[in-house]
Structure 1
Amino acid sequence: MNASPGIPEGKLIVLDDHQLFAHGLRLLISRRFPRCDVAVFTTIEAAKEELSRSRVEFLLVDPGVHRQEMAAFVADCLNDYPACRVVVLTLLTDLNVVKKYLEMGVVGYLSKTIDENELSIALLQMLQGNRYVSSDINSRLINTVIGREATLLSDREIEVLSLMVAGKPAQKIAEMLFISPHTVVAHRRKIMTKLQKKTTAELIQYAVSNNLIN
């Protein structure tokens, strides 16, 4: 795959006690973003040491079996290294855990089931200052937050709604989802009908007031 110029020169830390996965992820990211210096650590202590001596652009962590220790570590990182973008990358997709970390201030929550393309999109989005939740988790999160009404929405409508909440205009949504702007407008109209909202502003306000995050 072609390398992307989006990630600047800088360090990315992968903290994961599954060494095979972690080193595979390092190779994947290094291939896609060759200017990114990827370091792998299997212990919190080693990651702390690296954070104390280097400027780190991204910290990817997996709460794994050390949930309490990792939560405390993430909280410390967010407080001590505000320039570091902390991202959870895990198989742990319980929505209570997802919401906990998002409320703490992580910039991303990604499932380990995502593909290479979505990982690249996520890193680029977060680099630009946006929050990113992987599509599989985000669909469930939206359905949970906005209640039973959201079960009426199709997967595509949920994707469109998520991007609307993120502030993306119709043209950008169309580009990201590989559909036409006209189709985006049609989806938006259907969403507003199903959720009984009369204007786009009202729809966005409804989503924000119900703590939609993506």
Structure 2
Amino acid sequence: MSTTEKISLLVVDDHPMVLEGMRSMLAQFGYVHLTGLASNAWEAMDLIKQERPHIVLTDINMPEVSGIELAEKIRREFPGVKVIAMSTFKERSYIAQMIQHGAVGYLLKSASREEIEEALLRVYEGYMYMSHHLHMTEPEQQETKQLPVLTSREKEVLQLISDGCTNPEIAKRLFISLHTVDTHRKNLLTKFNVNNTALLIKIATKAALL
């Protein structure tokens, strides 16, 4: 990037101390223009409409609308805006969902100033960035991108299937009908492109979705 060009950035997190900490640190990055700080997805979408930042750096675990859902909304409504997730979660299931919903970067909140700089520059230049501390190889990153996106209900059903519950037991625990359980089970088999429960559990376990 040129010496006069600046990366416009929006930071989203529901913890005021995190936002202020990021504001203070980013002020030291001469090539970054902080367009705003948002404490939830609604504020973030309003600021994106107004400012059209190059990059949105967002937490995952937020109330009402998660960072995963926010990433999807940004991809759908503002495809030119790039999203980097920043979280304490190292599980591949979270990483996979963020990538599948449009994120092009994933940082841990323990990331150093140098790593955050590297992530911003790499993503701005059109590359994907994964935190050094995730210890994911290139094939693993590609595999993560291809994992199916599951609804919250499908995740619950998947976990109960893994626990050995029968359809009637799942229906009872989740207060849903047998027909609904059967539909979720069939959807899971389709999404994972398998034809039996054993393979479903094997792939989901390998992908750290269980």
Q: Give the 4+ runs in structure 1 shifted more than 4 A.
A: 4-7, 140-146
- Within the alignment, does 1:47 sit opposite 2:44 as a pair? yes
What percent identity do the matched residue pairs reach?
18
Per-residue deviation at 1:45?
A: 1.4
* CA pair 49-114 structure 1, distance change in 2 beyond 3 A: same
More helix by share: 1
The residue number in structure 1 matching 2:13 is 16
Contact 2:54 2:81 in 1 (8 A): yes
What amino acid does structure 2 have at the position aligned with 1:116?
Answer: R
* CA pair 103-35 structure 1, distance change in 2 beyond 3 A: closer
In the alignment, the residues of structure 2 paired with residue 114 and residue 7 of structure 1 have an alpha-carbon distance, to the nearest angstrom, of: 26
Per-residue deviation at 1:55?
A: 1.6
> Highest Rg: 1 or 2?
2
In the alignment, the residues of structure 1 paired with residue 91 and residue 126 of structure 2 have an alpha-carbon distance, to the nearest angstrom, of: 25
What amino acid does structure 1 have at the position aligned with 2:18?
Answer: F
- TM normalised by structure 2 equals 0.60
Contact 1:17 1:42 in 2 (8 A): yes
Per-residue deviation at 1:73?
A: 2.0
Unaligned runs of 5+ in 2: 143-210
In the alignment, the residues of structure 2 paired with residue 78 and residue 118 of structure 1 have an alpha-carbon distance, to the nearest angstrom, of: 24
Question: How big is the alpha-carbon RMSD for the aligned residues of Structure 1 and Structure 2?
Answer: 2.7
Q: 1:103 aligns with which of 100, 105, 128?
A: 100
Aligned residues: 143
- Within the alignment, does 1:119 sit opposite 2:116 as a pair? yes
Per-residue CA deviations over 1:107-159 (Å, capped at 9, x if unaligned) read: 1000011100111011111111000001001x14669679xxxxxxxxxxxxx
* CA pair 7-135 structure 1, distance change in 2 beyond 3 A: farther
In the alignment, the residues of structure 2 paired with residue 66 and residue 128 of structure 1 have an alpha-carbon distance, to the nearest angstrom, of: 31
Per-residue CA deviations over 1:77-120 (Å, capped at 9, x if unaligned) read: 01111111111011122111101111222110000111001110
* CA pair 41-108 structure 1, distance change in 2 beyond 3 A: same
Per-residue deviation at 1:30?
A: 1.9
Contact 1:29 1:38 in 2 (8 A): no
What amino acid does structure 2 have at the position aligned with 1:77?
Answer: I
